[in-house]
Amino acid sequence: MRILGLDPGSRACGYGVVDDDGAPRYVECGVLTSEPAAAMEVRLGEIARALREVIDELRPDVVAIEDVFAHAQHPRSSLALAQARGMALAVVGIAGLAVASYPPALVKKAIAGGGAAKKDQIARVVQALVGLASLPRADATDALAVAIVHGRTARTPTARLVSSVRRP
């Protein structure tokens, strides 16, 4: 099963692809970016186009995406993240892929053993799990972590399926 993990953002969207038939095998990861000074709709449009290219090139079977983390002290950040996540879900839906959604704390716990794990901890565990020689950007390792978690839990009720649309 080829899994595309996504860590959506309005300025950068991390993606990570693993093939998982019992153990994750690294395929590719990266960060889709946009012009930081551009308007929100332009940034999201640029990331959406790039995400569609990733999907067309790498042909995942399923997408695993991180849930929105609500920042009570920074509601505008939560809103921007929700808009970016909605854009990613729309692109994935147009591609006809099923989506599994995971809370950030569950990803952290599944990868590093604790829901309060720091980003560098997650990155080091991901690096070891898929045998990366060097660490990619944090957004990419976060996306790989989501993909790895989906591979581990796809056959259990832990994964909440957002959509069951399948590519023809």
Q: Supply the residues annotated as catalytic.
A: 7, 66, 139
How many helices and strands in the chain, by DSSP H and E?
5, 6
DSSP tag of 137: -
Helical residues (DSSP H) of the chain, grouped into ranges: 40-58, 75-94, 104-112, 119-130, 138-153
Q: How far apart are CA 152 and CA 132, in angstroms?
A: 19
Nearest CA to 60 among 6, 138, 127?
Answer: 6
Output Rg (C-alpha) for the chain, integer angstroms. 15
Residue 118: beta bridge partners?
none
For 51-60, letters b (16+ CB in 10 Å) and e give beebbeeeeb
Q: Using the structure block, give the residue that is written with the tokens 């929100």.
A: 40
